[in-house]
Amino acid sequence: STPSSNEIRQAFLDFFASKGHEIVSSSSLVPHGDPTLLFTNAGMNQFKDVFLGFDKRPYTRATSSQKCVRAGGKHNDLENVGYTARHHTFFEMLGNFSFGDYFKEDAIKYAWELLTEVFKLPKDKLTVTVYAEDDEAYAIWNNIIGVPAERIIRIGDNKGARYASDNFWMMGDTGPCGPCTEIFYDHGAHHFGGPPGSPDEDGDRYIEIWNNVFMQFNRDEAGVMHPLPKPSVDTGMGLERISAVLQHVHANYEIDLFQTLIAAAARETKTADLSIPSLKVLADHIRACSFLIADGVIAGNEGRGYVLRRIIRRAIRHGYKLGVRSAFFHKIVPDLVAEMGDAYPELVSNQARITEILKQEEDRFFETIENGMAILESELASTKDVFNGETAFKLHDTYGFPLDLTADICRERNVAVDTDAFNAAMARQKEQARAAGKFKMTANLEYDGVATNFHGYDKLETSATVTALYKDG
Ligand code: ATP
Ligand code: MG
Ligand code: MG
Ligand code: MG
């Protein structure tokens, strides 16, 4: 039999504990005191100040399983969920950290030992990448570990290219960063996709499982790199991705934990066919929403609360698509708690609140979704390629359809949204409100709020442009 994801999480922590690492609990999804960050997006977040030399810990080696949400900010995977085999909004990042202790050679040796000796992965299924100029990392892989040259790929700095691999890791636009080396697992030639760096790298044959970052710089607002006090190590391996490998399945959604959640979503939506993509989205979103609420996020009209509301509404819309017409999503919470409550007791202690908030949000959106969908469908019926931005604004303003929800539905029909017209309609309404002397804190502020507070969360990510960026859109 194969190990469960709960066992794999523990095996990772135990391995690094045996190498002198302190086991540190996950920090909250809401990063306290870091305005540059929307949600915790990596294991290293809670150690940011340790890397920068501002904070000292009683240990120089740590390991954790960190709750992460990538649904906005620099790392945004919301639009990937349901489309790729490997992306979630919420996921767990297993990590080991060295604060000025070991560096490249030991980091690589540990990773290889865990993967090939403890987890017993066949070496020839592993391909690694190194930062293009990092001859040192290349030599460690090649000479010390013995990975043949054909499975070591040099990758440059591809910032900006959505799908291109990028071997220079940054937490955000500022903060600790450095070159990295990544480990990919080859799921076999029957899957589409080429090795990292190849034109087909965005397929899902080769799946990135582990990133080892050599933290060496602090990037400031002007983009200048300042060397850190001590070279350090930060690694991240997606628990769901390594579980897929160890459970001999391809997609994250096929692992034990997701199978349970998908079955629960099927039960609550009365869906017989477990392979329907909406069920995966629901299984993904129930985790993100529940964990965000457990960490204190409240659904609302701006900032973090609006991201939560948008995810909830996307989930509701998938239920709607499956024929559901009243609150159902919150009924999956007990299944999630049963699955993950042992590892994350905050789910247990907040179960009632999570359920209540989700139910409220559902009741509210179910009041308008039907009429909104009717309008959306009739507009779509007369749409060729680009959905009317005025209608998208009306859906937003009157029916509570966030722009990204409308865009998501349109994307399923290969239609983009005219976001310029959407923004113009919003600006016009703001202007009218101002002229009327009203202090109307309309939902219009939502986008502004997110955009100004969180660098990198740009409207593009929810816009028509995005549709064009997706090859599989
Ligand atoms: P990808 O290229 O697949 O989007 P990434 O390079 O953005 O991944 P990193 O920032 O390097 O990911 O994060 C470290 C690890 O966390 C990845 O190697 C992967 O195992 C895991 N991971 C990253 N994003 C996700 C996600 N959205 N869902 C699940 N696991 C993820
Ligand atoms: Mg990514
Ligand atoms: Mg990557
Ligand atoms: Mg990576």
Q: What is the pLDDT of residues 277-330, one digit of tens each?
A: 999 999 999 999 999 999 999 999 999 999 999 999 999 999 999 999 999 999
Ion ligand 3 nearby residues (CB, 5 A): 208
Nearest to 68 by CA among 125, 29, 98, 16: 29
Q: Which pLDDT does position 72 carry in this prediction?
A: 82
DSSP secondary structure string for all residues of 158-216: -TT-SSS---EEESSSSEEEEEEEEEEEE--TTS----TTSTTTTSSSEEEEEEEEEEE
The pLDDT of residue 74 is 75
pLDDT for 140 equals 98
Give backbone dihedrals phi and psi of 219, rounded to 5 degrees, phi first: -90, 125
Please tell me the distance between residue 438's alpha carbon and the centre of ligand 3 in angstroms: 47
Mean pLDDT of the chain: 90
Q: By alpha-carbon position, which residue is closest to atom 14 of ligand 1?
A: 236
**How far apart, in whole angstroms, are the C-alpha atoms of residue 322 and residue 86?**
23
Average pLDDT over every residue of 110-131 = 98
Integer Cα distance of 281 and 262 in angstroms = 9
Please state the atom number of ligand 1 nearest to the C-alpha of residue 165.
2
The per-residue pLDDT for range 36-48, each reduced to its tens digit, is 789 999 999 999 9
**Residue 91 — pLDDT band, cuts 50, 70, 90?**
very high
Q: Is-contact 176 52, C-beta < 8 A?
A: yes
Rg (CA), the chain: 22
pLDDT bucket at 472, cuts 50 / 70 / 90: very low
Specify the range with the lowest mean pLDDT, choosing from 51-55, 153-157, 208-212, 358-362. 153-157
Which protein residues touch ligand 1 with a CB less than 6 Å away?
70, 75, 77, 86-88, 91, 93, 208-211, 236-238, 240-241
Q: For residue 207, how far is its CA from the centre of ligand 3 (angstroms)? A: 9
Mean pLDDT value across residues 436-445: 53
Q: Is the pLDDT of residue 465 over 60?
A: no
pLDDT in tens, 153-207: 999 776 545 445 679 888 888 889 999 999 999 999 999 999 998 989 889 999 9
Q: How many CB atoms lie within 10 A of CB 470?
A: 14
Question: DSSP H helical segments within 19-102, as ranges?
Answer: 48-52
In this prediction the pTM is: 0.91
ipTM beyond cut 0.90: yes
pLDDT at 263: 98
Ligand 1 atom nearest residue 180's Cα: 11
pLDDT in the model for residue 159? 54
Res. 83: pLDDT tops 60: yes
Check residue 170 and give its pLDDT. Answer: 86
